[in-house]
Every structure is written in C-alpha cells, then in structure tokens.
C-alpha cells in the first residue's frame, strides 16, 4: 500500500523543520519500522511538505503510529513548526491519481 501526505509548516521555520528531520529520534524510527512502514521519504518545497511511505496494512499501520507514545511526543515536538493539526498529519492521506510502474 502506498501512502502520501501533505502538510504545511510555518513561514520562516523551513530550516528548523529540516534541522529536526536531520536528527529524527531513534525511538521514532524504530516505531515507524515496527508499524510496518518502509520506503519513507519527505520532500519540502517552501512551506509545503509532502511525505510518502509504503506498508502492507494501512489501517494497522495508522493505528500503531497514531496510538504510539513516541509519535505523540514527536507531534508535540513539531507543533511549533507545523501549521497542519496533529490529527491531520497522519490521517487517511492523499488520494493517488496517477501511477507509472
């Protein structure tokens, strides 16, 4: 299953967003892997952020991520940088409209 998301960061905090993601906590990375996430990438264009990852069971993965204490801490840590609400950051994601294999 492919999953993509979009969020918006606060203008002027683009470098801070990048800095925090250059040092993602080891516990956070472990939790993402345990949740079944692979091929995870984040792209930024100005204040627009697009993320992409893959998993085998989206409902299970989202339940594990959204129910984890480490994700709750990460979302709180990022609140001052990100405009998009925490509940929208790991919701159902974006709808795929084109794919080339």
pLDDT of 80 reads 97
Residue length, the chain? Answer: 101
**pLDDT for residue 76:** 95
What's the confidence (pLDDT) of residue 89?
81
Q: Look up 21 and say whether it is catalytic.
A: yes
Catalytic member of 21, 29, 60, 76: 21
Q: The whole model's pTM is what?
A: 0.91
Domain 2-89, what fold?
Alpha-Beta Plaits (3.30.70)
* CA pair distance 46, 14, nearest whole angstrom: 7
- How far apart (Å, rounded) are the C-alpha atoms in residues 39 and 11? 28
Ranges of residues in the chain with a pLDDT under 50 are: none
Domain ranges in the chain are: 2-89
What is the pLDDT, as a whole number, of residue 83?
97
Q: Can you give the pLDDT at residue 71?
A: 95
């Amino acid at each position: 299953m492919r999953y993509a998301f979009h969020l918006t960061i606060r203008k002027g905090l683009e470098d801070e967003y990048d800095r925090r993601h250059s040092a993602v906590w080891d516990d956070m990375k472990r939790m993402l892997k345990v949740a079944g996430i692979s091929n995870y990438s984040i792209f930024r264009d100005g204040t627009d952020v697009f993320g992409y990852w893959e998993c085998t069971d989206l409902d299970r993965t989202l339940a594990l991520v959204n129910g984890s204490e480490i994700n709750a801490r990460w979302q709180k840590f990022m609140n001052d940088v990100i405009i998009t609400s925490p509940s929208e950051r790991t919701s159902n994601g974006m709808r795929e409209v084109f794919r080339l294999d």
